[in-house]
Amino acid sequence: MINITIWNENRHEKINPEVQKVYPEGIHNALAAFLKGEFTVRTATLDDPEHGLTDEILDHTDVLIWWGHMAHEEVNDQIVEKVKERVLDGMGFIPLHSAHNSKIFKVLMGTRTGQLKWREADDKERLWVIEAGHPITEGIPEVIELEKEEMYGERFDIPQPEELLFISWFTGGEVFRSGCTYKRGKGRIFYFRPGHETYPTYYHKDIQKVICNAVNWVSPTLNSPDLKLGNVQPLEIKN
């Protein structure tokens, strides 16, 4: 069983009635609700001690999902460093939506801003699958339509994705690289765009399926060999 920790900033939910209406238990619990059927799930939030990301919790985390927006700067740098080390050691990482601006995403991407174009105007979004046969797009229709979402547009300040799985189109005419995979050290990363806090996106069955597939794909490979580094003796004796 894969152990997931869902990390949510959980601030909009505390102060914005519009968000409370969509996610009364918080975005983390909306994500947990559909993930817990298939995985072992715990949640952590910004205001928990150590942001809920103690060594003990991270020791039991195979995959970390991250949702943050208005309080990226409040995330402690030491915890960002700790999460980065875990990812390099093999923990899977799924930054969602506005996590593009989080400290941890920017550090792992090596990007200065992580910025993009955006607009909150009830745009329709069409997410086109552009890689059939990838485990993350398995069982997903060719196009996912979201009636209303925040618009994210290119250019998105990220390094070239290793695999680009989804491209979004918005009614304003913009396009966006919505599903991107990366490897960093032993860790796998999947950035997935949808999920603005005022829209019910995380209740959409296909969006849920993409996130479930992504958890399986980023989870650490079992039995990966322990490859030694540093000074070594030769395997062959020189004549």
- Residue 72 touching Zn ion (CB under 5 A): no
- Residue 150 touching Zn ion (CB under 5 A): yes
Nearer to Zn ion, 39 or 105 (CB): 105
Which region, judged by CB under 5 A, interacts with Zn ion, from 13-21, 149-157, 172-180, 208-216?
Answer: 149-157
Closest distance to Zn ion from the beta carbon of 98 (Å): 5
Among 5, 45, 61, 98, binds Zn ion (CB under 5 A): 98
48 φψ region: left (φ > 0), alpha (ψ -120 to 50), beta (else): beta
Closest distance to Zn ion from the beta carbon of 69 (Å): 6
DSSP character string of 194-226: ---TTS-GGG-HHHHHHHHHHHHHHSPPTT---
Nearer to Zn ion, 196 or 209 (CB): 196
Residues in 152-211 that interact with Zn ion by CB under 5 A: 196
Closest distance to Zn ion from the beta carbon of 132 (Å): 28
Task: Give the C-alpha separation, 59 to 110, whole Å.
Answer: 25
- Residue 61 touching Zn ion (CB under 5 A): no
Tokens, residue 52: 């809920």
Cβ atoms 93, 66 nearer than 8 A: yes
Q: Is 124 exposed, middle or buried (0-12, 13-18, 19+ CB in 10 A)?
A: middle
Instruction: Provide the binding-site residues for Zn ion, judged by CB under 5 A.
Output: 98, 150, 196
